[in-house]
Amino acid sequence: MNAKGKVLKFGDNVDTDVIIPARYLNVSSGEELAKYCMIDIDPDFTKKANTGDIIVALKNFGCGSSREHAPLAIKCAGISCVIATTFARIFYRNAINIGLPILECDEAANDIENGNEVSIDFDSGIITNHTKKRTYQGQPFPPFIKEIMAAGGLVEQTKEKIKG
């Protein structure tokens, strides 16, 4: 599994209230939520983001509310991966559960700049910055989580289990 795209860069503590404010939580469709993705931190985000683009942020990305609408809005806005120094824990498991690839890598999070072209190999955790011609070693998922991602998320994995 791989991702490649242009980077949209953010700082520390990007919270779920700015990723998708509560005023839009009266709907649950990912396509609808995607229209307002990141609106309170960058009102032009959806105009700038193209399918396959990558969000890079610093520490504690996705802190705050447990709203799964946040990773869902990001995924449905076409973002192929989020790289950060660290993720808030509920966002981290929500992203895995819905099949939004995320990767922790302090070096990449700090070195990659807005607009850089970046690709990611999820199996090895290697992040390549094509603009700066550098690579960074991110932390690949443990096998347990790779299985969830490979199944297409926790729902798909559970479906198989329930079918037996």
**What is the radius of gyration, based on Cα positions, of the chain?**
15
Nearer to other proteins, 4 or 35 (CB): 35
Query: How far is 7 from 45, CA to CA, in rounded Å?
Result: 12
Number of residues that bind other proteins (CB under 8 A): 43
Give min distance, CB of 92 to other proteins, in A: 8
DSSP string for 103-157: EE-HHHHHH--TT-EEEEETTTTEEEETTTTEEEE--PPPHHHHHHHHHTSHHHH
Give min distance, CB of 143 to other proteins, in A: 9
Token reading at 33: 């939520």
Q: What are the beta bridge partners of residue 163? A: none
Select from 1, 22, 48, 50 the one that contacts other proteins (CB under 8 A): 22
Angle between helices 69-76 and 89-98 (to 10 degrees): 50
Give min distance, CB of 51 to other proteins, in A: 23
Per CB under 8 A, contacts with other proteins among 58-117 are 59-60, 63-69, 71-72, 86, 88-90, 93-94, 97-98
**15 makes contact with other proteins (CB under 8 A):** yes
Q: Which amino acid is at 135?
A: T
**1 makes contact with other proteins (CB under 8 A):** no
Residues forming contacts to other proteins in the complex (CB under 8 A) are 13, 15, 17-18, 21-23, 25-28, 40-41, 59-60, 63-69, 71-72, 86, 88-90, 93-94, 97-98, 142, 144-145, 153-155, 158-159, 161-163
